Structure 1
Amino acid sequence: MKFKSSNKFPIYTFIALVLIGFSTRLSYSLARNPILPLFAAALGASPSIIGLVVGISTVTGILFKAPAGALSDIYGRRTILFISTLIFGLVPFTYLLVNNYILLIVIRFIHGFATAIYGPVAMASIIDIAGERKGQWTATFSSISTIGSIISAPLGGGLLYILGGSNPSIEVFHFIYFIAGCIGSISIILVFASWKYLPHKESSTSPTMGAVIEKFRKDLLAVFRDIQVLLISSMEAVQNLTVGALEAFLPYYIISIAGLSSFHAGVLWGLQLTLLILFRPLMGRFSDVYGRKPFITFGMIFCASSFILYPITTNFLILCILTIIFGLGEAMVTSSTAAMVAEKSKAHGYGVSMGVFGSLWDIGHASGPIITGILLEKFNYMYSFGIISLILFIFTILFQMYVEESEKST
């Protein structure tokens, strides 16, 4: 379903999507950071295996986000959203069966279907109703949903430290994943409670499989033939190299090298996410008025510059300052990229363009832990983080050279 732009914003639809987004993010993030890399380490995983464990769920997104977005264009957002919440609610309970990192990798891949389906469909739903203020409303939705991640980081780290101290048992990790499953199950209830407000397909006529495949093929070609759309999507993908690297290895750095606790690691991650909530809607609105390109460019510079400085200090206050700079940069990039892709895309329906955007985002997110893990087995933190930062600077130059500014949205 695609809402027509009007002065009356469908606030109940927005609230329903926000509540579902909050519960799913809280559950998924509690299962991920800072718990996941520490769980993998407790199971005997090496740095490269830890990177694989953290990154494998986003590989699912790389493969399935575009098809999920296309299916929502055809069959309606509501049905596809419901399928994603089933995965959010049920899969976390399977972590209670994990006693080796091989099984953990398998379950992480399956768990990745939740965000692979939900991500592009939720974002397409917001763009459907956003009208001329795509930057503002996509950023506001993302920021409010991110509150779940902010709560989950210190909650997970704190629970781990309180229940298990500096050397938690496998059973402590299992208990935290049980809590994540209970929280994820709330999203299923929320979908049913807000069913009539969620975007849905008005026509009861189902298209043939041939029509589905043909539409997906045409929309996919329209996106992949547009170098500007690909470069814009790649900016957030490359920025997510650093996000994925920090998710996987900042907790390990904080505890093993800086000599701090898992709670400190959770606080740092929560601080970074707090910056996203506070600044992303504001940056999104500014980009609606003043253009997307400057915010993406300076945001990338902030992220690259702060990321390379993490390994030079073990002081918690300085780490917090670097995290503030990084979070501000991430807010500037992520508030503008999705809106700019929607404005540039020639695909019929936002589902496919948001799916491709999400898939490229996931390539960066998955590559961050994996590439950083490989680098850390050969180099120290300074060289490894420096190489990742250099990639960000290179893509920022390419973005400046080949992407034209979108027309102002208002």
Structure 2
Amino acid sequence: MRKTLYIILIAGFFAILGSTMSKSPTLPLYAQSLGLSRGEIGIIAAASTITGIFVNFASGLLSDIYGRKRLLKISGFVFFSAPLLYFFADDAITLALVRAYYGIATAIFVPVSLALISDIYPERKGTFMGILSSATLVGRAIAPVLAGSLIYFAGFWVVFISCSILGLITLALTFTLPKAEGGLRRFEFSFSSTILLLGLLDAAVYMAYQSIETFLPLFYFLEDKAWLSGLILTIEISIMAIVKPYAGYLSDKIGRIKPIIVGMGMVSVAMLIFAFSGSLPLIIGGAILFSLGASVSEASTKPLATEISKLRGTALGFLESIKDIGQALGPIIVGFLGFKVGFAFVGIFGMAALVVFITAFKGMKWG
């Protein structure tokens, strides 16, 4: 159990480090260098998450049937091969196709690895899911500043090669996982309204996250400063990496609902700060508030989903699919509506989802 945990933590770190380097701040800057518009950049940024909408649920279900290892090996191959395809992308369509293919990797890895953690530690799933999230977030935290620096000193091609090498390491690690067959013999998953509500909450969080990640480098006071936008994203993700294990532990101790309410409230306020701020200090403050709120909320939604359904991989895959709808829509909304209206819309959506959740929770038994 301990060896499996260490392997999946290390694999998660390298997988997300590589995939995040390929898009933050690389993707908007690379797309801009190709002469693409903000609307096109928003659509391209959403391509990988659109893939996730369809793949997350399927991968979770297949991992319940065939076991976690087989699915994780497939994700490792995509992590290795996808970055090399950037060399063939020179317009909006081909770049979107590369991002869509890359999305298969994370759409498999995230729900299946979380399901594996839930299998290993059923009584402490909140804590150890938080630790896994922190391992991936350390990769996310390092990635923007590392990618931004590589772009500044060497160019985009170094980033793409580096991402492929990191994917190869991930692929190799998946082969060392113990073999385990899936236990599902009959499909009995129930699409409960509770899981749907949890998905909407995660959708609001990642609608905000992807919007920030995509367009932060393009704020007027950050243009031509890839290192600075990368540093802000690194600070944001570093906070999430530190907070998530503690938030997961708290969720195991006091229940899932209260942390969700507090966390979502913070996320919504942070988006309004992004919408109406015009200075660097306010942007940094909004990023910090978002990091805290997202960590607290997400540390409870995923463990709660595995408690609602016995098919943990399927439940987490369904949750990830709903989440990815929000993550895909975020850059599109902000890209076409503009920063002020777009970020405000994301904040209002988060508040509305929270109100629906609080109202519906009155009749739920989950504590």
Q: TM-score, normalised by structure 2?
A: 0.95
Aligned length: 366
Distance 1:259 1:88, change over 3 A: closer
CA-to-aligned-CA distance 1:170-220 (integer Å, 9 cap, x gap): xx223311111111111112223x233xx61189xxx9xxx6xxx44x32x
Q: Give 2:20's match in structure 1, choosing from 29, 45, 59.
A: 29
1:350 aligned residue: 312
Question: CA separation of 1:154/1:303 partners in 2, compared to 1, >3 Å: closer, same or farther?
Answer: same
Instruction: Please point out which of 53, 71, 77 is paired with 2:44.
Output: 53
What's the offset of the Cα at 1:264? 0.8
Which residue matches 1:235? 201
Shift of 1:258: 4.5
Q: Verify the 8 A CA contact 2:14 2:170 in the aligned structure 1.
A: yes
Is 1:304 aligned to residue 268 of structure 2? yes
**Pick aligned residue for 2:286 from 322, 337, 342:** 322
Contact 2:64 2:182 survives alignment (8 Å): no
Give the drift of 1:298.
1.1
Give CA-to-partner distance per residue, 1:256-314, whole Å, 9 cap, x none. 34456111110111111111111111011111111111111111111111121124444
- Residue from 166, 169, 189 that aligns with 2:172: 189
Map of 1:200 onto structure 2: 180
Q: 5 Å matches for 1:245-260? A: 245-253=211-219, 256-259=220-223
- The residue that corresponds to 1:367 in the other structure is 329
- Is this contact kept in 2: 1:300–1:333, CA < 8 A? yes
* Cα distance in 2 for residues equivalent to 1:295 and 1:260: 38
For residues 202 and 71 of structure 1, the distance between their equivalents in structure 2, rounded to whole angstroms, comes to 8
Which whole-Å CA distance do the structure 2 matches of 1:200 and 1:288 have between them?
27
On the 8 A contact 1:158/1:263 being kept in 2, the answer is yes
* In structure 2, distance between residues paired with 1:288 and 1:406: 16
Contact 2:334/2:341 (8 A) holds in 1: no
Q: 1:11-410, aligned counterparts within 5 Å?
A: 11-163=2-154, 172-192=155-175, 194-196=176-178, 200-201=180-181, 215-216=186-187, 218-219=188-189, 222=190, 224=191, 226-253=192-219, 256-259=220-223, 261-345=225-309, 348-376=310-338, 381-403=339-361
Could you tell me how far apart the structure 1 residues matched to 2:182 and 2:267 are?
Answer: 43
Change (3 A) 1:39 1:202: closer
What amino acid sits opposite 1:372 in the alignment?
A: V
Distance 1:341 1:187 in 2: 27
Identity percentage of aligned residues: 29
Q: What is the RMSD computed on CA atoms of the aligned residues? A: 1.8
- Work out whether residues 57 and 317 of structure 2, in 8 Å CA contact, stay in contact via their aligned partners in 1: yes
Q: Within 2, Cα distance between the matches of 1:311 and 1:318?
A: 10
**C-alpha distance in structure 1 between counterparts of 2:107 and 2:140, whole Å:** 17
TM-score (ref. length: structure 1) = 0.85
Matched letter for residue 80 of structure 1: L
Query: In 1, distance between residues paired with 2:222 and 2:276?
Result: 11
Q: Secondary structure at the match of 2:181?
A: coil
Gaps of 5+ in 1: 1-9, 164-171
Structure with larger Rg: 1
